[in-house]
Structure formats: structure tokens, C-alpha cells
Amino acid sequence: MEAFQRATAWVDIGAIARNCERLRSELTPGSRLCAVVKANGYGHGVGDCARAALEGGAEMLAVAAASEAFELREAKLTQIPVLTMGALTDPELDVALGARSEIGVWREDFLDDVAERGAAFGIRPRVHVKYDSGMGRLGEKDAAAAERLLERAAADERVDLAGFWTHFATADEDDRGYFDEQLARFAPLVERARAAYGPSLIVHAANSAATLREPASHFDMVRCGVAVYGLDPFGRDAAEQRLEPALGLSSYVAEVKRFEPGESAGYGRTWTAEQPTHLGIVPIGYGDGVRRALGNKAEVLIGGRRYRSAGTISMDNLTVDLGPEPVAERGDEVVLLGRSGEDAVRAEEWAGLLETINYEVTCGISPRVPRIVRK
């Protein structure tokens, strides 16, 4: 009987490298791949995943927070360009600049802050001007103001104008009308910016979904996150996009107990035995990222066979119905995400049950679950 940890996230970094190779095969000539490794590599673990993405051909890394840029440098990824895309307070800006990160800007006062703090560090920061073409989050939404910010960044000798970018709101949806609107707003600004600032300006817009659906969105670089980790950006089946899921989540059967009709298990008695059966108690729960709403819905794999969760998922445990004559026994591995035998449970399956997206599933796996790298 093999012994398993109570909860383990298995990360296949070879799959990440191959996914990056697959994404690069889609790119238009001259376009490069930036791998987005924010949120601890979408829950997969940042350092090993970043290195695997680079092995697969990514030429830049992107994060949301200054601490994430710092973490990449701490992981000895010192020579790779990193873009910090999110909002930054003054102390966070210092952390990002200390990590020699390139910085996303969309306001003149923030551009000045970047220039001044860069001078204090003795560096000339590289900045990427962001245009809000319709996402409605960070970015300058007025096209003329965005062009003025480009001009000001290009004229300021304290910074280097490195990029011009936007982000799509609906690239993953079947109806591409709004996606086309955003692309149409951005394209003429790109044409004028390229004419004014030359080929050194990196234009980037496409996320994973846009990369796979529209070559016109590739420009000089694409920023892929979800697809790097083998998750389908369209929320269906990663195999349709020739992507390999890189993360598995497992636990083990800690106990097997017999239940008679009318006996219940779990908080609130949401499951009651209708016939004699056995439950397997699995020491993993919502404290590890197995959402409570998956109770009585999600299925796990034991020895390649599917078993339905039974009862409310608690913080540290869940139970599965093993049937009246169980084959599974104490000590068996339980696969919650990933493959066992000929079957697999994917993040998209959980996402459908939870009415959410697949990468919320992987990002939700908590820090107390160790990430174990498989090559």
C-alpha cells in the first residue's frame, strides 16, 4: 500500500514547455510569446513554470504584482524581461523597479513617478503604454490621450518607450462582435504608433483565446496565460486546442466506513444513504481549494474508476460513495484533477459544476498544498 500526502498538486513542466511550443506554432511571422505567470503561475508554481515556458520558447514573462516580479528574480530568472501589468503603489513601484521589471503605464502622473523612481535606482525604466480599447479596467480609454502619453514617454529621456498594448474582454466568446470592435479601435493607433516610434516598439494585445482564434491580433507579441498551463481558453476541452493540462491534484483514501440506509455524512446532512454502502473519507477539502459547492456533484478517480462525492465538502475532508461492495480501500490514491487509468477529471469539468472558469479552479488551490514537479 503506497503512502500519499494528504494533498498534492502534481505539475508537469514538460507539458508547459510543449504548450508554449504549440502556441508559438500559431504565431504570425515576427510575433513572440510572452508567458503570463501571475498568481503563482495560475496556481501551478511560478519558478519552475516560468523556466518551462522559456524552454518552450517564451521570450518574456508577465505578472500582475510587483511581488511577483521580485519572486521571479529570486528564482534566479535574472536575465529574462519581465512586464508588471498591474496597478502599483509607490512602495510596490520601488519593488518592481528593484526587480528591473518593465512597467505598464496609462497616466501621465504615473509615468512621471516611474521616471523619477527609476532615476533613484540609477536605471532607465522600460514602459508599456496601455490603451483601454474596451476592457473597462486599467488603461487610458481616450485614444487621443493614449497617443499623447506615447509621445510623452518617447520624449522623456528618463524612460524607454518599450511597448503599446491593450487587452480583450471577449476573445473567448463565440460571438466575436465586441472582440472585433476592440481590435478595430486598437489597429489604427498601432499603425500611427509604429510610424512614429519605429520597429523597437513592441505592440501586444492577444491573450490565449485571441492567439488561437485571430492572427490579426498577434502584432509583435502575444501574452498567453491559461493556455500555457494546458487549460482551454474557451472553457471546453484542452485537447481540442492540442493543449496538455499541466496540473493534477491528488489525495488518498484515509478511511472506509459502512453506512446503513438513513445514515448521513457531513455538515448539514446533505447526503443520506439510500441503501447499504461504503464511504471513503479523503483528507482534502475547501481549505485546499476543493470548493464547498462541489459537494454531491464532483467526481474523483480511484484506480481509474469514477466515484461521486457524498455530502458537504468540509475544510479538510470530503467523502465519496464507494458503493455497497467497494473495490477501493484505505491507502488508495484519489485523483481529484488529472488522469487515472483511461479517464481524467479536468479543471473544465469543475468549472462547469461551479459555473466559473477553469483557471479560477487552478488558482484556487491553496498554498498548503505542495506543488511537486514532474518532468
Residues 178, 267, 307, 375: which is the catalytic one? 267
Residue 257 half-sphere exposure toward CB, CA atoms < 13 A: 13
267 given a catalytic annotation: yes
**In whole angstroms, how far apart are CA 297 and each of 229, 234, 310?**
25, 22, 8
- CA 370 – CA 375 distance, rounded (Å): 16
Residue entry with cell 527609476: 118
Per-position b or e across 39-48, b if 16+ CB within 10 A of its CB: bbbbbbbbbb
**Three-state SS at 42:** helix
β strands within the chain, DSSP E: 8-12, 32-36, 60-63, 82-84, 102-105, 126-130, 160-165, 202-204, 221-224, 247-252, 255-259, 264-265, 271-272, 277-282, 299-302, 305-308, 318-323, 333-340, 343-345, 371-374
Q: Active site residue: 38, 130, 229, 359, which one? A: 38
Active site residues: 38, 267
